[in-house]
Amino acid sequence: MKENNLNEKVWQLMKKIPRGRVTTYGMIGRKLRTKAYRAVGQACKKNPYAPHVPCHRIVESNGKVGNYSGRGGVARKIELLKKEGIKVKDKRVENFEKVLYKF
DNA sequence: AGCGTGACGAACT
DNA sequence: TAGTTCGCCACGC
């Protein structure tokens, strides 16, 4: 089922994010040639491909972890990232530039 | 069909 | 540096 919306594109893109890496809403938006960074966030929130799409690997462009609608909220997101080797301090990703996956 | 909200981002004050 | 405003797209009411 393909949708003409950004949703499907976003999901396909975030599936490519390797483990132990993160990306930003801005990166995805730029890759899709769109300024609707908000729509990217909406796609994550909606994401029907739940465990198939690692939306927890998406952070804000300023290095902040951002938000999370899953169980436990942002705290849960941080734990998942830490499990993958990404260190988060005070909702901020350490070595942000190094773990950032660029498209 | 229209308005308000939101897992954002860049610019402005 | 921090707080506010505008832009952009999808979704709920």
Quote the pTM value.
Answer: 0.93
Burial profile A65-92: b = 16 or more Cβ within 10 angstroms, e = fewer: bbebeeeeebeebbebbeeeebebeebe
Strand B proximal to A6 Cβ, under 7 A: no
pLDDT at A101: 96
Largest CA distance in chain A: 39
pLDDT at A21: 97
Nucleotides in chain B with any atom closer than 7 Å to protein CB: 6-10
Q: CA(A6)–C1'(C7) in Å?
A: 17
**DSSP string for A44-66:** HHH-TTGGGS-GGGEE-TTSB--
Phi, psi (degrees; rounded to nearest 5) at A93: -80, 125
pLDDT at A94: 96
- Catalytic residue at A44? no
**CATH class as words, domain A3-96:** mainly alpha
Look at the block and give the residue holding tokens 């690692």.
Answer: A54
**Arithmetic mean of pLDDT, A58-80:** 95
pLDDT tens readout for residues A78-100: 999 999 999 999 999 999 999 99
pLDDT at A50: 85
pLDDT tens readout for residues A14-32: 999 999 999 999 999 999 9
Strand C proximal to A38 Cβ, under 7 A: yes
Rounded Cα distance between A85 and A67, Å, is 19
Strand B proximal to A21 Cβ, under 7 A: no
Domain boundaries, chain A: 3-96
pLDDT reading at A3 higher than 80? no
Strand B proximal to A44 Cβ, under 7 A: yes
